[in-house]
Structure 1
Amino acid sequence: MDAALLTVGDELLDGDTENTNATWLARELTERGATVRRVLTVPDDRAVIAEATAEYSDAFDAVVVTGGLGRTPDDVTMEAVAAAFDRPMTENDLARADVERTLAAIAGEYPDLEVDAEKEALLPEGARPLINHAGLSPGCVLENVYVLPGIPSEMKRMFEAVEGEFDGTARFRTLYTEEPEANLVERLDEVQTRFDVKVGCYPDRGAGHNRLKVTGDDAATLEEATAWLAENVTLAQEP
């Protein structure tokens, strides 16, 4: 499964907010066997979001979009995703019911809160709603595009509802070595030549070691490549 991540928000591009969602989602998808091919951050601009969504939907098996949900003026993601598929925005009954339940539950804590439940429950026509158990604004799945909130706690909770749908064949193993990166070049080239795997070398000078990540689609080949590398590289203890 080839996936792309699309994170939305002017605050991300301005550097006001750290883009932890992209890192977290990339890790979660990778651990489930998906291969993340693109990570793109775009502004709160309907046309830009729609263009990127349509392009990535055509190019990859799955697209995860985060940010820009809700009803404030800069929350334009849902409308942009609808535009990417030429779908109108329509009220979703399941989303409306959940929004109303949430508003009723927090009415005592926020007595002056003014929310238009009908507008909050608008989703692209034909989309599968994703209930926001940690917040208010619903997400959705439209074809191969997954739209999640930008607030990390809400995004992570909503991702639980769809995590089983990201089941690819890519697997990886990790080794650590204190050998200098430059000394490893020939052996890293050789293991990729001998076996159908990809090897990345990631120095951590603070910890005094290099992390070697071996990735492949075939489990047996991956184990063989990892074993060969373990025999031909001086290993260090895992941090």
Structure 2
Amino acid sequence: MAHYSSRMNSRLSQLARHFPRSQANIGYTPVITTPRPSIKSTASRIIMASTPNPAIGGNPRTIHTAACLIIGDEVLGGKTVDTNSAFMAKWCFSLGVNLKRIETIEDDESEIIEAVQRMSNRYDFVVTSGGIGPTHDDITYQSIAKAFGLPLELHAEAYKRMKKLTKPNKFQPGFSWDVDSPAKTARLRMVELPFDKNRDLASQALFPCDELWVPVSVVNGNVHILPGVPRLFESLLNGLIPLIDDRLENPEGGGIWRVIVSTPLPESAVAGYLTELAAKVAAKGVKVGSYPRWGKKNNTVTLVGRDRDYLESLVPEVLANVEGKRIIMEGEADDEPEQQ
């Protein structure tokens, strides 16, 4: 256990260095359009915690592939910049998970239903971002519930944590958890989660961060519903790492490696060689990439794969053929403007 804790702390520290704190502030907001009865009258519909299931979402399969679904009119309308998909891409890469798809869709029930059903069927680990707040346009919970034929139920533990951890709002000075009100009804929408009576309750609502009341609702065993607020999204996603560690292809870390090479040659000059290289290394699961850096002196060539020793064996050949140098991150020491 001590070794496990040490290993996890080391991994989290490594992740922290890769993930800068986002400054974006996506509004945290989802909705059920039907009227809500009071908390007392819904006593028979409150779902209580049960014995934890060691498999997150009740799904023990190894996580090879992942997908990210960004939900929100504000993203598509240019009002908010999406940083969550970029964060998840780095998160997946660091854990050795192959992120296969990122999609952004509007707050539309049919769009959400279609996308989440398709992703759940195709990928091992699916994350959604956005649309789980208190306003009318936040329909993620209800849409995903409908996608899998599930009811929405008030989650007792999430409600308890919400009451304990939510700070008073100066714009709602008379608010009380003991009195029914429109404000209370709106808040309850954020803890009414899709519920599958055939799955263990503890695996359907996870609380990765002790300091946050926000749950990660898990539907169909592999769909994880997260808020769109970057600070919350990042904290909760990182908090899931200990819960999925045993389901990663390489729990010890280092699942995927990347070699980055900076070259002064134009893409047209290295295209032939890179085409031959890509064909040669494909059987080893290595992907070869070429990325122009417009307006900069050098371009970038990358090698990505799971066999670190094999990647390292290719480096001398690549450096020679593209007349390049190995770097740690793109732009390192070669960001001088291109000479006109």
- Fold match, TM over 0.5? yes
1:120 aligned onto 2:198: no
Q: 1:8 to 1:135 in 2, by over 3 A?
A: farther
Normalised by the length of structure 2, the TM-score is 0.64
Residue pair 1:191, 1:228 contacting (<8 A) in 2 also: no
- 1:46-125 aligned within 5 A: 46-103=109-166, 106-107=167-168, 111-112=172-173, 114-116=183-185, 118-125=188-195
Which residue of 203, 206, 231 corresponds with 1:153? Answer: 231
Between 1:208-217 and 1:136-145, the stretch displaced more is 136-145
User: In the alignment, residue 320 of structure 2 is paired with which amino acid?
Assistant: E
Q: Structure 2: which 5+ residue stretches go unaligned?
A: 1-63, 176-182, 196-200, 250-254, 333-340
Q: 1:198 to 1:92 in 2, by over 3 A?
A: same
Query: 1 CA distance for matches of 2:133 and 2:76?
Result: 19
The structure carrying a bigger strand percent of its residues is 1
Q: Deviations over 1:110-145 (max 9, x none)?
A: 653533454432111142233676766433222111
User: CA offset at residue 163 of structure 1?
Assistant: 3.3
Q: 1:57 to 1:183 in 2, by over 3 A?
A: same
Cross-structure match for 2:261: 175
Query: 1 CA distance for matches of 2:238 and 2:268?
Result: 41
Query: 1 CA distance for matches of 2:315 and 2:170?
Result: 55
Query: 2 CA distance for matches of 1:62 and 1:237?
Result: 33
- The number of equivalent residue pairs is 237
1:212 aligned onto 2:295: no
User: CA offset at residue 80 of structure 1?
Assistant: 1.6
User: CA offset at residue 180 of structure 1?
Assistant: 1.0
Which residue of 73, 94, 101 corresponds with 1:38? Answer: 101
Residue pair 2:218, 2:225 contacting (<8 A) in 1 also: yes
Q: Deviations over 1:165-222 (max 9, x none)?
A: 3745433221211111111112212222232311111111333111212112333322
Specify which structure has the bigger relative contact order, considering alpha-carbon pairs within 8 angstroms and separated by 6 or more residues. Answer: 2
Residue pair 1:134, 1:157 contacting (<8 A) in 2 also: no
Q: 1:226 to 1:62 in 2, by over 3 A?
A: farther
Normalised by the length of structure 1, the TM-score is 0.88
Cross-structure match for 2:73: 10
Between 1:164-173 and 1:62-71, the stretch displaced more is 164-173
Q: 1:3 to 1:227 in 2, by over 3 A?
A: farther
Between 1:193-202 and 1:158-167, the stretch displaced more is 158-167
1:204 alignment partner, SS class: coil
2:110 alignment partner, SS class: helix
Between 1:80-89 and 1:36-45, the stretch displaced more is 80-89
1:235 aligned onto 2:324: yes
User: CA offset at residue 237 of structure 1?
Assistant: 6.5
User: CA offset at residue 5 of structure 1?
Assistant: 1.0
Query: 1 CA distance for matches of 2:227 and 2:169?
Result: 24
Between 1:227-236 and 1:3-12, the stretch displaced more is 227-236
Choose 1 or 2 for highest CA Rg. 2
Q: 1:202 to 1:163 in 2, by over 3 A?
A: farther
User: In the alignment, residue 156 of structure 1 is paired with which amino acid?
Assistant: E
Over the residues paired in the alignment, what is the CA RMSD in angstroms?
2.3
User: CA offset at residue 109 of structure 1?
Assistant: 5.1
